[in-house]
Amino acid sequence: NAGVMQNPRHLVRRRGQEARLRCSPMKGHSHVYWYRQLPEEGLKFMVYLQKENIIDESGMPKERFSAEFPKEGPSILRIQQVVRGDSAAYFCASSPRTDRGDSPLHFGNGTRLTVT
Amino acid sequence: GENVEQHPSTLSVQEGDSAVIKCTYSDSASNYFPWYKQELGKRPQLIIDIRSNVGEKKDQRIAVTLNKTAKHFSLHITETQPEDSAVYFCAAANDYKLSFGAGTTVTVRA
């Protein structure tokens, strides 16, 4: 089991460009979460998705940010017109299907976005 | 929403001593409490978790306790070793959403 795969590991974008972050969950996992981590801070929930559905996007800024988890392929976190404040580590996590919400989250290695 | 507070923010211990990290949560419906360890530049890794129907759980040198009445839970690391140096995060979950504490940077002095 390859674990949660994120790419790229590092991404540098100029202000105003678009950033696209990819996440492939662990095999057998159908739930994907995105978290953002600013330097020396904790993990902040952004969005929770199941295949073809956004379940909760309450932690994601209303503008410029979007996420999807298509039927085929990885989950994508997209940030349009990036600003310096978007610089952070973005972690994807997955969990198996559960109705009880007490399944451990398995994190990927993260994408470190730097906006210049 | 759930609010998780974690203390202390930094902790320095002598090798061989114990380390204790405490967390409180606000949502009485939370029922799952994992702990993650994150080394510099790496991903958070689950080290232990506890569910609301259990008061204590132990795995070798690591133990967690949960007091649902007081809404707090703690991580205990005994016989600390240099490789225990990392940032530790507590978290609480109600349904699907995991809310994290701000983290504790643990430094084990040789």
Write out pLDDT tens, residues A11-38.
999 999 999 999 999 988 889 999 999 9
CB contacts of A41 in chain B (<8 Å) are 102-103
- Give which of A11, A21, A59 is closest to B98, Cα–Cα: A59
Give pLDDT, residue B103.
95
d(CA B64, CA B92) in angstroms, rounded, equals 13
Give pLDDT, residue A40.
77
Q: State how far the alpha carbon of A74 is from the alpha carbons of A1, A22, B36, B73, in Å.
A: 16, 6, 25, 35
* Dihedral sign computed on CA atoms, order A77, A37, B58, B97: negative
- Label residue A103 by pLDDT band (50, 70, 90): confident
- Label residue A39 by pLDDT band (50, 70, 90): confident
Q: Which residues fall within 8 angstroms of residue A73, CB to CB, at 6 or more apart?
A: none
CB contacts of A107 in chain B (<8 Å) are 36, 43-45
At B13 the three-state DSSP class reads strand
Q: State how far the alpha carbon of B90 is from the alpha carbons of A26, A57, A115, in Å.
A: 23, 22, 29
Nearest Cα residue in chain A from B39: A109
CB contacts of A108 in chain B (<8 Å) are 43
Which of A53, A95, A102, A107 best probes binding to B when mutated, by most B CB atoms within 10 angstroms? A102
Q: Which amino acid is at B16?
A: G
Kindly state the average pLDDT of the residues B13-32.
95
d(CA A27, CA A41) in angstroms, rounded, equals 29
Could you give the angle at the alpha carbon of A16 between the alpha carbons of A15 and A18, nearest 5°?
105
Q: State how far the alpha carbon of A66 is from the alpha carbons of A46, A54, A77, A114, B42, in Å.
A: 10, 10, 6, 18, 25
Residue B93 C-alpha from the chain's centroid? 13
Write out pLDDT tens, residues B39-92.
998 999 999 999 888 889 999 999 999 999 999 999 999 999 999 999 999 999
For residue B8, the surrounding DSSP H or E stretch is none
d(CA B74, CA B49) in angstroms, rounded, equals 11
At A110 the three-state DSSP class reads coil
Q: Does B96 sit within 8 Å of A101, measured CB to CB?
A: yes
Q: Does B44 sit within 8 Å of A43, measured CB to CB?
A: yes
